[in-house]
Amino acid sequence: MSMTHPFDVDTTYELLDDGNVRVSCGGKSGIFTGEGIHVSGDIRQADPQVCNWVNNVPNPDTQKSVSRIAGRDDAGAKLASHLS
Amino acid sequence: MAEMFKDLDPDTMPRSPGLTYQDLLDQDTHEVPDVLRLQSPKDVGLNEFAKERYTSRDYHEKEVKNLWMKVWQFAAREEEIPEVGDHIRYDIAGTSFLIVRQENGELKAYPNACLHRGRMLKEFDGHASEIRCAFHGFAWTLDGCLKDVPARWDFPQIKDEEFSLPEIPIATWAGFIFINPDQDCEPFEPFIKDLADQFERWDLGALYVQAHVARIMPCNWKIAQEAFCEAYHVNGTHPQIMRSLGDVNSQVDVWDNCSRVITPGGTPSPLLDYELSDEDMLRAMMDIPLEAEVPTIPEGMNARGFLAAMSREGLRADAGDKVDEYCDAEIVDSIDYTQFPNFHPWGAFNKIVYRFRPNGDDHRTSIMECYQLMPFQGERPPAAPIFWLGNDEKWSSALGFLGRVFDQDVFNMPKVQMGLESTYKPGVTLSGYQESKVRWLHQKLTEWVGE
């Protein structure tokens, strides 16, 4: 899971295998918890809610129910090919 | 209503730059229903509301007495008790009620208390052929008539006709059961009328409970509820969706007992000061990682229309060809209603129904619930039973993408409670328009509970 911050498009948030989030910008980086707490690295501040978002990827195998907000369900990509 | 709030002119009132919600509706690929063309902005004032509304025991006790024991409130879905003898327990602010399906299919609600020594009659939801107390065995028929008193000779003072379970008012709308603890309350119909009129097109009674998830929240019920009553918080709490959500372009409408916020999807936030491509919007809306490809939007279609078309196809198996009657806005936008005080059905196929209430008699914790309602073909599927998340469990573990969004809101809630306990500022400051649904709630609370 990775994304750039909408208010700071040069900054990338990327989920690491250990569940922490790497924040990178201009050749520097920092590691943060899913709550936005700094763990290591040169970048020492991050948006906690984006860390929260990037870190919080549910396991589809353990989902208790499926959810859909218009257009955002996992079926989206498959359906896109159907429409194009 | 007229005495409480003044109408604003939607054409001249202050509002965010960028497209209005009504402008977006003009671009819809389908006919837009009248209900989305309604506009009811109100001047709800600019006054602050005291922080004690969230922190004070006194205010909570006034809420219990003047609100929860007096107001119509959503208690259960009809499909949760489909058979004769099915019963469900509904608790509010330290008080318990029992709702029972009758022989004739109707519903009755009773205070959940034995008339002998007061034990709760039913502590679990379930099925029964009679209502028998587990303490000394007093029993009533499903319709509340006294049926059995063990060792009856020892209760010469009891007259059967005076020992029926007291009934409290009960009513239904769109598959939802409402009760009112006040036996002298106002009728239900005028209470629900505004909401019922607006949902005529969206029959929530025709949907089934696909999921019902609940969690104890570490904050006052209004802190939890208000986190879902405006889109102004999106830039701080859900920045990842700003590229595809017209947060501050939301339309807010206020009536007497209900209000709504409609937030457009598939359009960028006016708070972003750069141009966004349809691909950018699609990536954000569908949560596609940077390294993955975004689906190609067919020529002549924009991101909003494309998302609507995809969602229609996604819903078709369950909703049938009715999806073709729904405009893009009904498919893509968040149409979030609140019926005072705490019932939040979303319009069209948005699936969501929230409920927030105090956790027992504790004003610093609350219960948040989310029902997901889905269309179906053929026989009605059974209602999903309630699933309680643990205090540290994430909503995403139960509700996937939607739960991830909730988890961001939940991240704020205990901090808001702690902040309000700590602040030297006497009240909370709300915006005039974007947070007018929160203002409306507090104005109604002033009316019901007092300052």
User: B56 with B140, same domain?
Assistant: no
Instruction: Answer yes or no: do B384 and A65 touch at CB < 8 A.
Output: yes
Mutant choice from A68, A73, A82 vs B, greatest count of B C-beta within 10 A: A68
Instruction: Answer yes or no: do A64 and B331 touch at CB < 8 A.
Output: no
- pLDDT, one tens digit per residue, over B362-417 is 999 999 999 999 999 999 999 999 999 999 999 998 888 889 999 999 999 999 99
Of A52, A69, A80, the CB nearest to B310: A80
Within 10 angstroms of residue B41's Cβ, the number of other Cβ atoms is 19
pLDDT score of A60: 63
Averaged pLDDT score across all residues of chain B: 94
Predicted confidence band of residue B351 (pLDDT cuts 50, 70, 90)? confident
Whether A80 has a pLDDT exceeding 60, the answer reads no
- pLDDT, one tens digit per residue, over B409-449 is 999 999 999 999 999 999 999 999 999 999 999 999 999 99
Instruction: Answer yes or no: do B272 and A71 touch at CB < 8 A.
Output: no
User: B311 with B380, same domain?
Assistant: yes
- pLDDT, one tens digit per residue, over B55-86 is 999 999 999 999 999 999 999 999 999 999 99
User: B267 with B408, same domain?
Assistant: yes
Of A1, A71, A81, the CB nearest to B286: A71
pLDDT score of B47: 93
User: B155 with B283, same domain?
Assistant: no
pLDDT score of B185: 98
Pairs from B222-226 (Cβ < 8 Å, separation ≥ 24): B222/B53, B222/B54, B222/B356, B222/B441, B223/B54, B223/B366, B223/B413, B223/B416, B223/B417, B223/B420, B224/B356, B224/B366, B224/B368, B224/B413, B225/B338, B225/B342, B225/B344, B225/B354, B225/B356, B225/B441, B226/B438, B226/B441
Of B298, B332, B402, the CB nearest to A71: B332
Place of tokens 């929530």: B204
Q: What is d(CA A39, CA B430) in angstroms, rounded to the nearest whole number?
A: 35
Residue B406 in domain: yes
| CB burial of residue B157 (10 Å; 0-12, 13-18, 19+) | exposed
Whether A81 has a pLDDT exceeding 60, the answer reads no
The residues facing B253 across adjacent strands are B260
Whether B300 has a pLDDT exceeding 90, the answer reads no
- What's the average model confidence in pLDDT over B82-103? 98
Q: Supply the angle between the helices A76-83 and B303-319 in degrees, to the nearest 10.
A: 100
User: B341 with B308, same domain?
Assistant: yes
Mutant choice from B28, B209, B411 vs A, greatest count of A C-beta within 10 A: B411
Whether A47 has a pLDDT exceeding 70, the answer reads yes
Structural domain ending residue among the three candidates B144, B179, B214: B179
Instruction: Answer yes or no: do A71 and B274 touch at CB < 8 A.
Output: no
Segment among A70-84, B278-292, B306-320 with least mean pLDDT: A70-84
Whether B302 has a pLDDT exceeding 80, the answer reads yes
Segment among B131-135, B182-186, B308-312 with least mean pLDDT: B308-312
User: B90 with B44, same domain?
Assistant: no
User: B42 with B82, same domain?
Assistant: no
Distance from the Cα of B107 to chain A's closest Cα (Å) equals 29
Residue of A73 and B133 predicted with greater confidence: B133
- pLDDT, one tens digit per residue, over B215-246 is 999 999 999 999 999 999 999 999 999 999 99
One-character DSSP codes across B18-50: S--HHHHHHT-SSPPPHHHH----EE-----EE
Residue B315 in domain: yes
Residue B198 in domain: no
Whether B150 has a pLDDT exceeding 70, the answer reads yes
Residue B297 in domain: yes
pLDDT score of A75: 35
Structural domain ending residue among the three candidates B130, B145, B179: B179
**Domain CATH for B252:** 3.90.380
Residue B376 in domain: yes
pLDDT score of A61: 61
Whether B18 has a pLDDT exceeding 90, the answer reads no
Whether B193 has a pLDDT exceeding 50, the answer reads yes
- What's the average model confidence in pLDDT over B28-37? 95
Backbone angles phi, psi at B156, to 5 degrees: -65, -20
One-character DSSP codes across B216-271: EESS-HHHHHHTTS-STTHHHH-GGGGGGB-GGG-EEEE-SSEEEEEE-BSS--TT
pLDDT score of B401: 83
Most confident by average pLDDT, B9-18, B169-178, B286-295? B169-178
- What's the average model confidence in pLDDT over B137-144? 98
Contact list in B for residue A48 (CB cut-off 8 A) is: 411
pLDDT score of B14: 85
Residue of B2 and B334 predicted with greater confidence: B334
Q: What percent of chain B has pLDDT over 70?
A: 99
Structural domain ending residue among the three candidates B179, B197, B225: B179
Please state the domain count of chain B.
2
Gap between the terminal Cα atoms of chain B: 19
Q: What is d(CA B251, CA B254) in angstroms, rounded to the nearest whole number?
A: 10
> CB–CB of B262/B36 below 8 Å?
yes
pLDDT score of B16: 84
User: B370 with B226, same domain?
Assistant: yes
**Domain CATH for B149:** 2.102.10.10
Contact list in B for residue A3 (CB cut-off 8 A) is: 240, 289-290
> What letters, b where the CB count within 10 A reaches 16 and e where it falls short, cover B53-82?
bbbeeebbebbbeebbebbbbbbbbbbbbe
pLDDT score of A77: 36
Contact list in A for residue B238 (CB cut-off 8 A) is: 49, 53
Residue B184 in domain: no
Residue B350 in domain: yes
Range of the structural domain that residue B133 is part of: 73-179
Instruction: Answer yes or no: do A70 and B237 touch at CB < 8 A.
Output: no
